[in-house]
Amino acid sequence: MNIQSSSRIARRAILCIRGARHNATATTPPAANLTDVATTASPSEIPITSSELQPTPEAPAASKPVPEPTGERGQTIYVFRQVQWNQVVYSLQKSMKNNHALKQLPYNGKKTVPAALRKDLWTPLAAISFPTALHGRSAYQKLREYAKRHALEWEPHSLNVTSAGIPVPKQKRGRLLNDQKANSIADLASVLFKLSVENIRHYYPAPRPAIGNRLGLYDESQGAVVGVRWADIADANFAKSWSSNVVHNTLTSLYKNPFVGALWGSLKTPKKTASADEAEAEASETTISSREKWYKQYQSDQNKQKQLHRAKKVELKKAALSPTQKGLERQKALKAKERMQKKLEAKKRGKEAARSRPRGMDWTTFKATVVAKMKVQDVKTLEEAAKKPQVNEA
């Protein structure tokens, strides 16, 4: 019996409603005009795993200037990739947020979703720059929707059983479902294809009226130029084709790029160096200088503490006690010493008495006899002291 949770059923219902709304509002393009247009792979035609697609070393070259971002939220989409399983996360910020990223990772089995992100396992995949923030937010919504469809609408027969008829283990199936690198790149090509001038202008000769909750890309017929900066430009070949409005480029360096610096939490970008040796030398110099600064600060703190301790000693010497107060303190110390001596003597007598306990005698009876003997001894000492003649000093 196939039992589904209410949240999953609700997600499917929302996706069906959005699809119906999109079909009702967006007009279908004529079939004749699609023959001479390079199209990208739709989400239903994209394979599940990226291991089946091997990118070729060739990649699209940059032919147009990449649009410079103005810092408005949504103008740039940052794509991150998990190194081990090729999970993909979209973000509108340069740095990854733990809760925001975990919401995008679907549960595909035991231990497929981590409790928290590890920054050493996540690396930038691409950064997409749009001319306006509305373009970016609209594309971000479509990319998130395609990612949700890949997580929910995968074909069971393609992953439950191999081509040889051998059933796939749960752990391996979870890893295959997590591998969404090829899907995300093909989704990106499909979304950016709708922003191209050549592919969209003849679909809608006249501007369409604005609809409140229409599902689609903002300003599709404007032909906006979009820049995609790749960490590895060969990853662009995971898509079938790219439209002419897309400009491909590479991230300058994973360590010199502020996009990656924000990911690792570094506030300053390192200076440009001519070679790796110079970079290592500069790094060693910075570490040595930081250690020297720390040692100097430590020495100054120690000297300050010593000065404060000396000042306290001088103040105590100045505020010396009076003779009467000194006498009282001396009397208190003598009384405490006498009390301690009495306790030690009593303890010693108890130990000696315990050693003299005969075998077979109970502790209670032995204790009673010892106390009686001690009382008798005290009485004898008092009598002897009374019998001694008293000598008058006068």
Q: What is the DSSP string of 56-116?
A: -S--PPP-SPPPPP-S-TTSEEEEEEETTT--EEEESSSSPPHHHHHTTS---STTSS-SS
Residue 246: phi and psi, rounded to 5, are -95, 130
Looking at per-residue confidence, does 142 or 262 come out higher?
142
Residue 156 carries which side chain, given as an amino acid letter?
Answer: P
Among candidate residues 65, 392, 384, 355, the one with its CA nearest the CA of residue 225: 65
Sole residue written with tokens 């990449």: 66
Phi and psi dihedrals of 7, rounded to 5?
A: -65, -40
pLDDT band at 394, cuts 50/70/90? Answer: very low
Q: Give whichever of 39-43, 50-54, 294-298 has the largest mean pLDDT.
A: 294-298
Summarised one tens digit per residue, pLDDT across range 194-214 is: 776 444 444 444 555 544 444
Please report the pLDDT score of residue 143 as a whole number. 92
How many angstroms separate the CA atoms of 64 and 88, rounded?
27
d(CA 34, CA 22): 20
Give 338-374 pLDDT, tens digit per residue. 989 988 888 887 777 777 777 777 778 877 887 787 7
pLDDT at 198: 40
The torsion defined by the Cα of 280, 285, 291 and 293, in degrees rounded to 10, comes to -150
Q: How far apart are CA 89 and CA 143, in angstroms?
A: 10
Q: Which of 75-84, 155-164, 285-294 has the highest mean pLDDT?
A: 75-84
Q: What is the mean pLDDT of residues 295-301?
A: 82
* 44 secondary structure, DSSP code: G
- Which DSSP string do the residues of 254-279 spell out, in sequence order? TTT-HHHHHHTT-SSPPPP-SSHHHH
